[in-house]
Amino acid sequence: MTRYVMVADLRRCIGCQTCTAACKQANATPPGVQWRRVLDMEVGEYPDVRRVFVPTGCQHCADPPCEWVCPTTATRRRADGIVQIVYDLCIGCSACAVACPYEARYKVEKREFAFGDEPTADEELRADDSLIGVATKCTFCADIVDAGVARGLAPGKDPEATPACVNLCISGALAFGDIDDPQSAVSELLRNNKHFRMHEGLGTNPGFYYLWDREPS
């Protein structure tokens, strides 16, 4: 079996938002929509306060609440663990948006542009009306992953089969791969480091891991 997951090393993330920009470039998301975003968190109480950058987005849960509540079956989990939305089925009811504990879903009602009322040349070229009025979210760049796998490439290892945010992360904080493959980079990272997942108590079994310390050798 294959289950694609993402690993974010909180020790390495510097909050530069390059992953956010890479995602927006790769997926042509409109203003205000950030499928990959980085939280700038303050943790602790004065005087012991720390600043932590936490990349987040769709956690591609193994037991996704967004899939249970979707009345149209538009949200579905693939065999490789990627949770996807069939835009032609979605009615934009937002039940998935309120079901997601990770605030990962977006819906835009009309085309919006980054600079004023007119689209840029790139926005005009990449406009996709099928994304208006429906739920959207991080896809783990499934089209890139699928195309890469079809060419025999390894997601997480070969850039042409790896999500854009991972490819462009300047500090190497993000990693992607198959957690069921013990030889994959993500499996090795999880073996060698202490890690947690966001809101684990909700039982969603997210596919997004956060590294925070090394395992004692």
Partner 1 sequence: MIMTQRGSGAPWLQRSWDSRAACNFIGGGSGAGLLVAATAAKFAGWPYFPAGMLAIALICFGLSMVWLEIGRPFRAVNVFFHPQTSWMSREAILALPLLGFAGAAVIIDQNVVTLPAQISLPATPFALTSAVLALAFLCSQARILRASQGVPAWREPSLQTVIVVTGIVEGLGLLLVLGLFIVMPPAWIIPAAIVALVVRAAAWEHYRHRVTLTAPEPAVAALNRASVVIHLLGHLVAAALLIGSLMLPTSVVPAAVAGLSLFATGAWLKFVVVTRAAFTQGFSIPHVPVRGRVSTALPATYE
Residue 128 binds partner 1, judged by CB under 8 A: no
Strands 48-57 and 36-45: antiparallel
Q: Do residues 37 and 115 make contact, with C-beta atoms less than 8 angstroms apart?
A: no
From 1, 32, 50, 116, residue interacting with partner 1 (rule: CB under 8 A): 50
Tokens of 188: 């090795």
Given 114, 147, 170, 202, the residue binding partner 1 (CB under 8 A) = 202
Q: In whole angstroms, what is the distance from residue 48 CA to residue 109 CA?
A: 43
Could you give the residue ranges of the DSSP H alpha helices within 61-184? 65-69, 95-99, 121-126, 142-150, 164-168
According to the binding rule CB under 8 A, does residue 70 interact with partner 1? yes
Q: Is 69 near partner 1 (CB under 8 A)?
A: yes
Stretch that binds partner 1, among 69-77, 153-161, 164-172, 182-190 (CB under 8 A): 69-77
Site residues for partner 1, window 152-181 (CB under 8 A)? none
Rounded CA-CA distance 56/79 in Å is 22
Rounded distance, CA 161 to CA 177, Å? 10
Q: Which stretch binds partner 1 (CB under 8 A): 43-51, 141-149, 156-164, 184-192?
A: 43-51
- Segment interacting with partner 1, rule: CB under 8 A, options 24-32, 87-95, 121-129, 138-146: 87-95
60's CB contacts (< 8 A; 6+ apart) are 4, 5, 6, 77, 81, 82, 83, 138, 140, 206, 207, 208
Q: Using CB under 8 A, pick the residue from 11, 126, 151, 191 that binds partner 1.
A: 11
CA distance 37 to 24: 10
16 vs 153, beta carbon nearer partner 1 = 16
Asked if residue 194 binds partner 1 (CB under 8 A), the reply is yes
Q: In the complex, which residues of this chain contact partner 1 (CB under 8 A)? A: 9-11, 39-44, 50, 52, 54, 56, 65, 67-74, 89-95, 97-103, 105, 107, 109, 132-134, 194, 196, 198-199, 202, 204, 210-214
